[in-house]
Amino acid sequence: MIRTHKTRFGLMEIDDSKAIHFPSGMIGFPQETLFVLLAGREGRSVAYLQSLRTPALAFPVIDGGTIGDNYPQPSPIELAASVGIDTIEPAVLVVVAAAGSPPTLYANLLAPIIVDAGERRAAQIVLDPARYSASVIVAPAVQTANDTTEAPYFANMDARENSHRPVADTDTA
Amino acid sequence: MLVVRRRVGERIVVGNEIEIVITEIGARSVRIGVAAPRGVQVLRGEVHDAVARANAAAADAFASEPEPSSTRALLKEIR
């Protein structure tokens, strides 16, 4: 069922069947158990995990596959199994944050998000702190002048198929 | 907060499914074992807090979203 939700990016039409359930919430946000993955404009690396409970809350994420072939260790399948998510093809998302001046992009490699796209279940799982950091520089960021005011074009993104299906025409460009 | 005195080998049970066992007591630290069901992550407090801070910072900071092209270029470099 497609319904209108308040989001960090304004009102958006979101297909409830695309919601992803985090039974334990995000770490530090235990009450946040329902998200939807929103992709930015075509070609953008950063997507957003938008809370369906708290409109102002969205976590920027990148595809964990872009970090490298050996990330994460243990394997996503093993990680998923460790938290009771049984899937043969989990997706991996990594939370990123832009900070500093000029802005730099930091990735939280310590705690990736493992997603079972089929069952729409996910968990943020903490890896070995001796091997991974919660704040790893992955790119110097270039702040765009209108990022905070522009109403971006978003689409529900299926974590499994990585498809871009427009659901709301909020593009003002 | 419940504060109890325990000896080595004694347990604390949280709910029906989580057990905490004192395995060793040293001069400045204790070693404990935690048994929890699958799906319940057991984390050191400081690690939990570091991830929680990183999550909060990420949610607060993305107004300065990076230029995607530079992101992709650097992601390639760290592969």
Comparison of pLDDT for B70 and B44, the residue scoring more = B44
Average pLDDT, chain B: 83
Tell which wins on pLDDT, B62 or B36: B36
Buried b (16+ CB within 10 A) or exposed e, A3-21: eebebbbeebebeeebbbe
CA of A64 vs chain B CAs: smallest distance (Å): 10
The pLDDT value given to residue B62: 60
pLDDT at residue A42, as a whole number? 64
pLDDT in tens, A48-97: 999 999 999 999 999 998 888 899 999 999 999 988 888 888 999 999 98
- The residues in A 12-31 lying below 8 A from B, measured between CB atoms, are 23-24, 26-29
In this prediction, residues A136-152 reach a mean pLDDT of 50
Phi, psi of B56 (to 5 degrees): -65, -40
Q: Is A147 on the interface with B (CB under 8 A)?
A: yes
